[in-house]
Amino acid sequence: DARVTQTPRHKVTEMGQEVTMRCQPILGHNTVFWYRQTMMQGLELLAYFRNRAPLDDSGMPKDRFSAEMPDATLATLKIQPSEPRDSAVYFCASARDDQPQHFGDGTRLSIL
């Protein structure tokens, strides 16, 4: 079965450090989403791309977060500098256009 691959699966780091999360979408999927999940806020959309072009990043704190898609097989989400309130599970999902989204296993991020 084709899967969305996210790395790392777990990340613990200190406040102020840069964090980079990576996502390999399913081959053939042209749309990539980044979500953040917390108990308080639920599943929030941070940003998404179609055909590598950013379509919407309104859910992302612009001062510290950035999302890119350097090529069709890699999407990245960076936090610099990281803060304790960024602790969450970050999911990447991919889809073909408006077809169902397939989620990766997530990156569990803890900022101390």
Partner 1 sequence: QQPVQSPQAVILREGEDAVINCSSSKALYSVHWYRQKHGEAPVFLMILLKGGEQKGHEKISASFNEKKQQSSLYLTASQLSYSGTYFCGTEAGGTSYGKLTFGQGTILTVHP
Q: Are 16 and 32 in contact (CB under 8 A)?
A: no
Least distance to partner 1, CB of residue 63, Å: 23
Strands 88-95 and 107-111 come out as: antiparallel
User: Which residues here bind partner 1, judged by CB under 8 A?
Assistant: 31, 33, 42-45, 48, 50, 55-56, 91, 95, 97-106
Q: Which residue lies nearer to partner 1 by CB, 24 or 31?
A: 31
Cβ proximity to partner 1: between 65 and 91 the closer is 91
| Residue 19: both structure tokens together | 């964090």
Question: At closest approach, how far in Å is the CB of 6 from partner 1?
Answer: 9
Nearest approach, Cβ of 99 to partner 1 (angstroms)? Answer: 8
Compute the distance between CA of residue 29 and CA of residue 22 in angstroms, rounded to an integer. Answer: 16
Specify the DSSP element, H or E, that contains 17. Answer: none
> In this complex, which beta carbon is closest to partner 1, that of residue 31 or of residue 82?
31
Give least dist CB 49 to partner 1, A: 11
Distance of CA 65 to the CA centre of its chain: 10
Q: Give 32 or 111: the residue with its C-beta nearer to partner 1.
A: 32
60 phi, psi to nearest 5 deg:
-105, 130
